[in-house]
Amino acid sequence: MKYRIAIAGSTKNTVLMAETIALDPAFEIAFTLSPAPKVIGRKQVLTKNPLHLWSEENRLKAFLVERKIEKSLLEEFEKMGEIDFLLVVDFGYLIPKWLLNLPKIAPLNIHPSLLPKWRGSSPGQFCLFFQDLDNNGKKSAVTLMIMNEGLDQGPIIAQILFDLQNNWTQKEYYEHAFTLIAEKLTKLVSDFAKGNIRAKEQPAQSPTIIARRLGKEDSFVAWSELKKLINGKEADQNKILPNLLENPLLCQNKLNQIRLINNACKAFTPWPNLWTIIPTKNSEKRMKILSCHLEKEGLSLDQVQIEGKNPCLWVECKNSLT
């Protein structure tokens, strides 16, 4: 007997899970569910997401979602036959109750954090941002869980722990987390289906804030404060990434302020990037901080990119400032 599974998602991480499942003879992918093609980039090219493309390449039925999952899809899903599991990975849409109830065994989700920490859509970014601060340490995990109507609050089937590396950006964080779970995914799901693993309930409350979706406004740091840290001085603790810091006491000394900026630089790479506005000889310009590090006396910028120019070393362009 094969376990029939539907997969909902949109990214290369979803495709990695789909490829893993497709290679296991104990599983059959019934259909996929992903966002409809969107216009992307300056040329506004209509683009299919990775799971949509993978489904077409593998001749799988792909259902597409525009703004939300309409209940009219239920009849279409039922025509595909019963499913044992629904696996949701990097989907981005609210899963309605009727869809959670569709699989015979369980709706599953892969969440790349040590739940109940960092519930929400940006767990890797928040984990990197707060590492070594507020007792968050350098440990994380990728979690296989049963979905419910709460935000990442469902019972946990398994967690694979890993150590955060100092040179990781969000890209390396997510690649590592999803690679780890891909190696064990089908065995974990099979063992759960057979009753060899029992899911454990999570605490109702998370010890961390919600790892919400991030925007460019969240990664802005005022040049006036950044300059203080570069010059070895303490910045205003209320002006260090205030949109993200629920507890300004994390910024109460220079060392923690520098550590936060350094963490943010990695957490926000490759998007939305840590950035500021600098005064140049011609006008004010946006500047991305692509890399930096903590020095004994202050913050040291390494690579930056000034608006309209290619990335360069900070030492090569800092003289253009007024």
- What are the pLDDT tens digits along the chain (322 aa)? 799 999 999 999 999 999 999 999 999 999 999 999 998 877 788 899 999 999 999 999 999 999 899 999 999 999 999 999 999 999 989 999 999 999 999 999 999 999 999 999 999 999 999 988 766 678 999 999 999 999 999 999 999 999 999 999 999 999 999 999 999 999 999 999 999 999 999 999 999 999 999 999 999 999 999 999 999 999 998 888 888 877 766 777 898 899 999 999 999 999 999 999 999 888 999 999 999 999 877 899 999 999 999 999 999 988 877 6
Count CB atoms within 10 A of the CB of residue 309. 12
Measure the CA–CA gap between 223 and 75, rounded to whole angstroms.
Answer: 55
CATH superfamily of domain region 1-104: Formyl transferase, N-terminal domain (3.40.50.170)
Name the helix (H) or strand (E) containing 73. Answer: helix 73-79
Provide the residue ranges of all domains of the chain, joining segments of one domain with +: 1-104, 110-213, 216-320
Same fold, 1-104 and 110-213: yes
Strands 106-111 and 85-89 come out as parallel
Give the domain 216-320 fold.
Methionyl-tRNA Fmet Formyltransferase; Chain A, domain 2 (3.10.25)
* Annotation: CATH topology of 110-213: Rossmann fold (3.40.50)
Q: What is the pTM of this model?
A: 0.95
